[in-house]
Amino acid sequence: MVGADPSGAGAPFSLSFSGSGFLALYQIGVVQSLLELAPDILRSASKVYGASAGSLIAAAVVCEASLEDLKESFQEAVRNARKTILGPLSPSCNTLHTVQKGLYKMLPENSHQVASGRLHISLTRVTDGQNVMVSEFSSKEDLIQALICSCFVPIYCGFIPPSFRGVRYVDGGFTNLQPCSDLE
């Protein structure tokens, strides 16, 4: 997580949550501590960026969603992976499906409206390997699909990448592990 307020109090600043895999549980702990000790830091960030698992944390921050629900989704995915010999590489282990179910539970119905313009998700376009940042969402499903694409690690999560608005994407951390604006 990176935060910057270069001009002092009151200046606009952004937060960025890097790709981190299951270490996202650490990021959840940091966010929980900030909510307890300095909630204005999270609430006053003008933009919140996320790549890969960090995009899930960023979405939770922007939508003020339940971090406990998100943590439970991660822990359930780990439990499911441990049930098979091949772990998350087993065809019967669908880590992203578990996370997707958690997102539907965790995010409010108007999450796409709350997130649009403030949440910036890093994706890697399959066709040319270019980074794409998305920050406008037409529905809760649209937002969740962008988050799933940002977290999709080929082979680990499956062989066919998910699509967002008709284009296939993989993990945003491949091309922009710590997303931010060039202007910040």
User: Which residues are part of the catalytic machinery?
Assistant: 52, 171
User: 57: part of which helix (H) or strand (E)?
Assistant: helix 53-63
User: 99: part of which helix (H) or strand (E)?
Assistant: helix 95-106
Distance between CA atoms of 184 and 167, rounded to whole angstroms?
28
Structure tokens at 48: 């919140």
The DSSP output letter for 90 is S
Query: How large is the angle between the packed helices 24-37 and 67-82, nearest 10 degrees?
Result: 160
